[in-house]
Amino acid sequence: MMRGVLIVLAVLAAAYGAALVWPGPEPVSHPWLDGRTAERAERIAHGGGLGRAPANTIAALEQAVADGADVLEVDLQMTADGYLVLLHDDSVDRTTNGTGRIDALRLNDVTALDAAFGYEGEPADRFAGQGITIPFVYHAFAAFPDMRWIVEIKPQTEDAAMATCMAITETDMGHPGFANRVLVGSFHDDVLHHFREVCPGIATGMASNEALSFYVMARLGLAKFHPTRAVAAQLPPRASGLDVIHPRLVDAAHARGLAVQVWTINDPDEMEALIARGVDGIITDRIDVMADLQGE
């Protein structure tokens, strides 16, 4: 046991010594980063702004834009007939008047559902009977082509990664420059890896294992050796008892040119504390609260 510990310590010491003299990679660059609001932390509308309207709907996106969102963050699921729609869960039960897994329902059946049925915001009945539906991804993108986006691929499939690539690039044909305004993320490392292979020019965040390894290496002072094709990291403030948004993590990310975005923060005091730590963006259900905090 002691011998194993000594070997690990020796390897870490050697790596740390190399880190002192070995230059790291050039900071990442991408047009998605160039569009950032530089003078303050960016306001990123979680689920399109689910604290103000039904999640992942056109109504939520409209409200988020009106409230002053810098970035629209949405979730993508795939229907049985291979179409991408904006939806968080893998079933429609919680947020609509329908039932069933999204991958067992066809697009026409999905878009006929009432997406305000499960809304829990205030006032809860504001959107009842207003024809709020689950949007087809192309309709959502085309409605806000000049906004910057973060889209999360929920299904753990290569088909979903390919369909996401197609939705972005085809929207770009009608709205030139749109592809540079979209950042794609996934909790699944293999899905994100496949997306990067089929859509190499599109900005991506870090998947779960990628983010974990970057955190560990940042805390050890070795983040410049961490291989990544990401331009940003979407992270929780805490995980497994760890302070994820540690100053070393933020400094290490910025040294690599990576943006640090924290989810999901709705309390203004917590927003203020994270802004003081130097985060680049806050993913929130309440864009209006963050805008008030920033005096806008």
Give the model confidence (pLDDT) of 207-218 as tens digits: 999 999 999 999
Structural domain contains residue 21:
no
Say what the pLDDT of residue 124 is: 59
Structural domain contains residue 161:
yes
What average pLDDT score do residues 233-260 get?
93
Supply 146's token pair: 């000049």
- Domain range spanning residue 195? 30-92+135-293
Q: How confident is the model at residue 2 (pLDDT cuts 50, 70, 90)?
A: very low
Residue 116 host element (H or E): none
For residue 42, what are the β-bridge partners? 281
Say what the pLDDT of residue 5 is: 42
Asked if residues 59 and 71 have their Cβ atoms less than 8 Å apart, the reply is: no
CA 3 – CA 10 distance, rounded (Å): 10
pLDDT in tens, 142-183: 999 999 999 999 999 999 999 999 999 999 999 999 999 999
CA 4 – CA 253 distance, rounded (Å): 31
CA 161 – CA 190 distance, rounded (Å): 10
Structural domain contains residue 8:
no
Cβ-Cβ contacts under 8 Å for 227 (sequence gap 6 or more): none
Q: Residue 224 belongs to a domain with what CATH number?
A: 3.20.20.190
Structural domain contains residue 23:
no
* pLDDT exceeds 80 at position 1: no
Structural domain contains residue 111:
no
Structural domain contains residue 252:
yes
Structural domain contains residue 204:
yes
pTM: 0.90
Asked if residues 167 and 137 have their Cβ atoms less than 8 Å apart, the reply is: yes
What's the total number of domains in the chain? Answer: 1
* pLDDT exceeds 50 at position 9: no
**DSSP letter string, 128-197:** TTS---PPBHHHHHHHSTTSEEEEEE-S-SHHHHHHHHHHHHHHHHHSTTGGGGEEEE-S-HHHHHHHHH
Structural domain contains residue 24:
no
Question: What does the angle CA 155 – CA 200 – CA 152 come to, to the nearest 5 degrees?
Answer: 30
What distance separates the 2 farthest-apart alpha carbons in the chain? 69
Say what the pLDDT of residue 23 is: 61
* pLDDT exceeds 80 at position 38: no
Asked if residues 128 and 54 have their Cβ atoms less than 8 Å apart, the reply is: no
Question: What does the angle CA 86 – CA 91 – CA 94 come to, to the nearest 5 degrees?
Answer: 90
**Lowest pLDDT segment from 22-31, 156-165, 181-190, 269-278:** 22-31
pLDDT in tens, 109-155: 999 999 998 787 666 577 878 899 999 999 999 999 999 999 999 99
CA 256 – CA 113 distance, rounded (Å): 44
Say what the pLDDT of residue 296 is: 80
